[in-house]
Amino acid sequence: MAWDSSRPVPWQRLVREWLIYVTVMTVVLLVVFRSSNVIGALAGLLISGPLYLIMGFVLAKFGYQRTTLKQMRAEPAAPRANKRKKKSQGDDDAVEEAPERQRPAPTKRTSGGGNRPKSKPRRR
């Protein structure tokens, strides 16, 4: 995508994410570098703020938008809602498709989960 100066920049989200990052990393650095000087690491964290905001600004102007958790949770629910809507409309011409199901993860009882008997250790 090309640069578009009219695209909005999610400043509030960028600042909130950076503040969460700084908080978590400050705690981690204080725990890890308890006995040594932490001032340099904290200065690096403070310098990362403007860099993060500048990169977020540039990416937003190029059209990059990360999906939010709310959007990610809504995606799987959308196809189910569409299927229910089709059934409730009563379209006789519509061909009902079988729901696509994912295979369950293999377990000990299924063929993918190590169904072989354990071998006995060989004696020499």
Q: Please write the tens of the pLDDT for every residue from 110-119.
A: 766 555 666 7
Position 39 in a domain? yes
For 54, the domain range is: 11-61
Assess if residue 80 is contained within a domain: no
Three state DSSP letters for the chain = CCCCCCCCCCHHHHHHHHHHHHHHHHHHHHHHCCCCCCHHHHHHHHHHHHHHHHHHHHHHHCCCCCCCHHHHHHHHHHHHHHHHHHHHHCCCCCCCCCCCCCCCCCCCCCCCCCCCCCCCCCCC
pTM for this model (two decimals): 0.56
Q: Which residue has the higher pLDDT, 119 or 23?
A: 23
pLDDT at 33: 85
Is the residue at 57 inside a domain? yes
In-domain check, residue 51: yes
Count of domains observed in the chain: 1
Q: Is residue 107 part of a domain?
A: no
- What's the pLDDT score for residue 92? 55
Residue 123 lies in a domain: no
User: pLDDT by residue (tens digit) across 50-87?
Assistant: 999 999 999 999 999 888 888 888 887 666 666 556 55
Q: Is residue 16 part of a domain?
A: yes
